[in-house]
């Protein structure tokens, strides 16, 4: 029954993606992954129900498909975090293990239907070598891609602080859980029978379905803003920020090749401060580095450099520091006492209570209540 539930949910989610008007590459990859899961679950159901032994032509196909789980997860993560693989040769390399498994199992496909059934009913007799190789390849590949995906997600979570002023909905925590869950499935395959693994896969489908309904960014990845930003420079900015000294300046060597002179930096910094004072852009809770740079008519990398060097902060921390400053200013006005703390925080550009509390405590060392009661 659980297999059937997993099958229907996977097919339903696939249809949602198929009917989506503007499908991104991430959507297409997720669609293929869900179809793969549907096929594997259907095959497992046929195997358990005995249907395969009555129609053995399909036997063996399910052995080469599981290795694609990790590959498709990795490619989905790559796309959803804005790191598209542009080299077709690199894409092909990821499918080499599945191609090799298919080549190795060709002798099985050449058997008669009676021989295929015999092999299955006798624990892979005559193909023990393939069972061993297939098991190792599937588990190692699945775990490796799950870990690789987690590394990319963690890097993404750090990098977005250089681009977005509010990151709560962009940290892709659900995707991290999905990658961990995928890895757990392959660990289960090491210690438990196949039914346990396929039950876990059905649970994974339920997880995707739950977050697909409650968190639309599974089915809508808006990473266009990443295209305007040089990821290599973004990573260097993050490293530079981590290495900042107490004087709140980062090493000039980090930006030696940026092309900005000291005069350019001062001009951009002045324009930044003047426009922040005049327009209060930080109150836009969806403000991004790219949008701000466009408003100032400078390149996002250059603006990131100026904020790092002059403020000793990344973009995320810089904007939220301005929001806290504005909040304290508003909350100190007597006539604003009629408003709740969180409503004032929202007016200053925060979009979640947790983010506001986090940055207020970081900047003042106190909670809002402690701060205004002291």
Domain CATH for 310: 1.10.10.60
**Domain boundary at 192, 224, 256, which?**
224
Residue 337's pLDDT is 85
Number of domains in the chain: 2
Domain that holds residue 266: 226-373
User: What does the mean pLDDT of the chain come to?
Assistant: 80
Instruction: Report whether pLDDT(11) > 90.
Output: no
Q: Are 204 and 188 in contact (CB under 8 A)?
A: no
Residue 105's pLDDT is 92
Instruction: Report whether pLDDT(36) > 80.
Output: yes
| Residue 58 and residue 193 share a domain | yes
Instruction: Report whether pLDDT(73) > 80.
Output: yes
| Residue 217 and residue 145 share a domain | yes
Confidence class for position 101, pLDDT limits 50, 70, 90 = very high
| Residue 97 and residue 69 share a domain | yes
Residue 288's pLDDT is 86
Residue 206 vs residue 11, higher pLDDT = 11
| Residue 186 and residue 156 share a domain | yes
| Residue 325 and residue 313 share a domain | yes
Looking at the chain, the whole-number percentage of residues with pLDDT higher than 90 is 22
Residue 18's pLDDT is 85
**Domain boundary at 224, 248, 270, which?**
224
| Least confident window among 4-13, 73-82, 100-109, 361-370 | 4-13
| Residue 174 and residue 246 share a domain | no
| Residue 266 and residue 243 share a domain | yes
Confidence class for position 87, pLDDT limits 50, 70, 90 = confident
Residue 99's pLDDT is 93
| Least confident window among 94-98, 194-198, 214-218 | 214-218
| Residue 14 and residue 139 share a domain | yes
**pTM of the complete model:** 0.67
| Residue 186 and residue 154 share a domain | yes
**Domain boundary at 179, 202, 224, which?**
224
Predicted confidence (pLDDT) per residue in 131-172, tens digit = 899 989 999 999 999 999 999 988 888 777 667 766 666 667
| Residue 62 and residue 7 share a domain | yes
| Residue 214 and residue 240 share a domain | no
| Residue 348 and residue 245 share a domain | yes
Predicted confidence (pLDDT) per residue in 213-256, tens digit = 444 443 433 344 444 444 444 444 444 434 433 334 444 445 44
């Amino acid at each position: 029954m659980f297999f059937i539930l997993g099958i229907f949910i996977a097919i339903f989610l696939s249809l949602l993606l198929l009917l989506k008007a503007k499908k991104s590459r991430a959507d297409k990859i997720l669609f293929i992954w869900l179809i793969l899961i549907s096929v594997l679950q259907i095959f497992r159901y046929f195997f358990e129900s005995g249907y395969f032994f009555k129609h053995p032509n399909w036997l063996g196909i399910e052995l080469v498909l599981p290795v694609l789980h990790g590959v498709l997860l990795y490619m989905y993560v790559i796309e959803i975090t804005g790191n598209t693989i542009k080299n077709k040769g690199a894409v092909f390399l990821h499918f080499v293990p599945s191609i090799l498994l298919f080549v190795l199992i060709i002798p099985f496909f050449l058997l008669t239907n009676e021989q295929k059934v015999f092999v299955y009913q006798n624990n892979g007799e005559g193909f023990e070598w393939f069972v061993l190789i297939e098991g190792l390849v599937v588990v190692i590949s699945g775990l490796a891609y799950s870990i690789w995906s987690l590394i990319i997600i963690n890097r993404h979570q750090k990098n977005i602080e250089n681009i977005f002023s509010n990151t709560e909905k962009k940290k892709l925590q659900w995707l991290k859980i999905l990658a961990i869950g995928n890895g757990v499935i392959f660990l289960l395959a090491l210690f438990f029978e196949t039914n346990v693994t396929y039950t876990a896969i059905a649970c994974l489908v339920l997880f995707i379905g739950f977050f697909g309904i409650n968190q639309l960014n599974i089915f809508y990845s808006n990473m266009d803003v990443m295209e305007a930003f040089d990821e290599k420079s973004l990573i260097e900015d993050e490293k530079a920020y981590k290495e900042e000294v107490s004087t709140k300046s980062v090493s000039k060597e980090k930006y030696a090749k940026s092309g900005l002179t000291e005069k350019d930096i001062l001009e951009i910094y002045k324009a930044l401060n003047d426009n922040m004072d005049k327009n209060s852009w930080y109150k836009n809770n969806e403000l991004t580095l790219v949008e701000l740079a466009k408003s100032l008519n400078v390149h996002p990398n250059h603006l990131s450099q100026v904020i790092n060097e002059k403020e000793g902060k990344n973009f995320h921390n810089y904007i939220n520091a301005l929001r806290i400053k504005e909040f304290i200013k508003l909350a100190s006005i007597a006539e604003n006492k009629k408003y709740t703390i969180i409503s004032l925080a929202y007016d200053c550009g925060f979009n979640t209570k947790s983010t506001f509390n986090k940055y207020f405590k970081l900047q003042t060392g106190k909670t809002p209540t402690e701060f205004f009661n002291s």
